[in-house]
Structure 1
């Protein structure tokens, strides 16, 4: 026993000539992609399906150019806000016409959609989601990724991820615009104040969008990331603590807002197309 204990335990390794991570030099050569026996592939698969479903739906609706505005109640889907060209339906341009008629290959919500897309693409949670599920980098813990090397976010196009904080500022402006749209939607069919199911959906969507936006890691850094002494800045410290509480729910809010955007747009589309009659509480 003592003789065995005195001998160093060695493990035979096969050095890989190329690659990184589990395929790097000095790592044991294991032919299996993973030794896990659970359904590790289920989470990335569901993530791909969820993201793909939203992207397909949002793309179709953004280029549809129809059933996005309910003139009777001033319901405007967030996919078309702000609508600032002369191609927009009458009454849907809450901020006037900044551009003339747009060709059919340009979405009417072109002013905000690209920046909102970049805000989500560069979001810390969404990076984790699509890095693992789409790029398999890596797809799960203890599962080898198929890439030979990893350069991080130091080269194009991934270096653009570092601009996330700037897209956050634009997302705040768009959230203010969506809030204004939701307020304007409290409109009766014959003018004056009106309130219906569509208002509840629009307001709920705006609340969730605000929660997702301010729970962003960039917002947390802006409110308190540079402070060295919290005691000297009690107001900012309080704001930072509230943002930090929301930040723990950032993943849930990221998915919830995708659902709320799709539901809001779908409801407005049904009402605008005459497929569904809005349930009115105050006409």
Structure 2
């Protein structure tokens, strides 16, 4: 008896464009801005992490997030709220040698950042109807992109580091110029940065999955359902928080550096 099943569909191949692009708009502007933005942040962060200076304002207990937690034995007195290791770091090793790599890996494996640098740095793909420079496409099935699956674990590390940054921000409120509670522009800068970092961290797709990705029903978990709903709302703005927090990290570090170096004073509101 002859088979009545339809013949298998022919294998689809990638579209082949005879020209560089079929588009007439400025499709290259988005990838270009992405390259400039991410490269600028990485360059600034690298310089500041290796500078090992102007990261701590002892009068008001301001610690830049690029140096938190400060782990080297050569950290300025009072800046290492969680204690230090028993030796001094060489010049090429950041004082925040644990937190910085984990945070970079958290962002590097982030679902949004993957799309951003895949399209801009790797041009895979750059944009719709734009010819790719690559002859083959393997996705994330080969090394080193297999490591992208570790994003869910870097999320937990990012939560722990956000707790440390929050602790730093709260501790600064308890170290006014005359002791006790104090409030200055630096406190508001640190607090704003921490709040936005929490928004970026909690809006992560992995966080949303942790809250409800494995559940079949929320009917007997009203608290968890509420948390999942709020995280889902944040998740719609994950791209926005991804870029905003890059800016607030730079501005926060720059403000602390300017105050620590004596370039500008910290305007005090209380004490």
Task: Quickly name the TM-score band, shorter chain normalised.
Answer: over 0.9
Instruction: Tell me which residue corresponds to 2:56.
Output: 69
Instruction: Tell me which residue corresponds to 1:177.
Output: 164
Size of the alignment, in residue pairs?
258
For residues 44-83 of structure 1, what are the structure 2 equivalents within 5 Å?
Answer: 44-83=31-70
**Residue-by-residue CA offset, 1:3-61 (whole Å, 9 max, x unaligned):** xxxxxxxxxxxxxxxxx6224xxxxxx42121100010011001111111111111100
Instruction: Tell me which residue corresponds to 1:194.
Output: 182
Q: 2-side partners of 1:77 and 1:36: how far apart?
A: 44
User: Which of 95, 99, 102 is equivalent to 1:112?
Assistant: 99
Q: 2-side partners of 1:227 and 1:173: how far apart?
A: 25
**Residue-by-residue CA offset, 1:111-134 (whole Å, 9 max, x unaligned):** 100000000000000000000011
Q: 1-side partners of 2:85 and 2:205: how far apart?
A: 33
Deviation of residue 75 (structure 1)?
0.1
Helix, strand or coil for the counterpart of 1:21? coil
Helix, strand or coil for the counterpart of 1:97? coil
Contact 2:69 2:99 in 1 (8 A): yes
User: Which of 225, 238, 241 is equivalent to 1:250?
Assistant: 238
TM-score, normalising length: structure 1: 0.89
Instruction: Tell me which residue corresponds to 2:24.
Output: 37
Q: 2-side partners of 1:153 and 1:35: how far apart?
A: 27
User: Structure 2: which 5+ runs fail to align?
Assistant: 1-12
**Residue-by-residue CA offset, 1:201-243 (whole Å, 9 max, x unaligned):** 0000000000000000000000000110121222111111100
* 2:9 matches 1:21: no
* 2:155 matches 1:168: yes
User: Structure 1: which 5+ runs fail to align?
Assistant: 1-19, 24-29
Helix, strand or coil for the counterpart of 2:219? helix
TM-score, normalising length: structure 2: 0.93
